[in-house]
Amino acid sequence: MTPQLRASRSLHESVRQELLNRIQNGAYLPNLPIPSTATLSSEFGVSPITIKRALRDLQAIGAVTAIAGKGTFVKEQRRFLIDLSDGIAHLETANVRLMSIANEKISDPAMEMFNPPGEATLCVRKMIFFAGEPPLAYDSTYLSPDVDEAIIDKFAARPVTEALGRLGIRIRNISYLIDASTAARKVAEIFAIPNGYPMLRRLYKVTTTKKGLTIFGILQAPFDRLSYSLNIQSEN
């Protein structure tokens, strides 16, 4: 039976999404080859060029790897574990790609527990990833619109805790809310996952020793790429 391809997407995008679905659903297993280009071309009823374009896209996001003379193999995905016991996760070895900087209000209803400012903030959005791995997390950090340029530059280039450390600013208090949500369209495109894919989110509020610098944010990742641990010591 030929898979149904979505008319709203190009052929190679539809094939890529179907192959990614099979990887995520376990139809294609880690470290094992997927069917050959010729086999997939026949199954989908598309040209080998279309299959190769889809596979190149999957290689780019770290879902598969091509081995010369052997074929294309599903790449084993790491689930990154963040320990919250020390107050906040450190991602110093991660790479960061700035996505956008814009003035906007904090509109997510779940952030209300942190009493965010009602006026527009400066939102710094960035992708966090490790070399050779698919994107790990998408971080939206909200700052006061009148912060110094040096602070903006650091938050645009590094994860929150490292940015504060490089600025010599100490953390006074951190509050977290960890919840689950579904991937919005823009986020789904960034992670190359289906719309509505389950996401793990860490909403945070960080107060610092610098007067007027309180940081709000939402760090989100596909549920199978990120997990958290917390160690609570007994007083006895």
Domain ranges of the chain: 11-74, 80-229
SS3 of residue 59 by DSSP? helix
- Residue 86: which pLDDT band, with cuts at 50, 70 and 90? low
Is 80-229 CATH 3.40.1410.10?
Answer: yes
Residue 182, sorted as left (phi over 0), alpha (psi -120 to 50) or beta, turns out to be beta
Long-range contacts, 105-112 (Cβ 8 Å, 24+) = 106/142, 106/216, 108/203, 108/218, 110/177, 110/179, 110/201, 110/203, 111/203, 111/216, 111/218
For the whole model, what pTM was predicted? Answer: 0.69
- For residue 190, the model assigns a pLDDT of 84
- For residue 65, the model assigns a pLDDT of 87
Kindly state the tokens that stand for 8.
């709203």
Q: Is the pLDDT of residue 48 over 90?
A: yes
- What CATH number is given for 11-74 in this structure? 1.10.10.10
More confident residue, 172 or 76: 172
Question: 11-74 and 80-229: same fold?
Answer: no
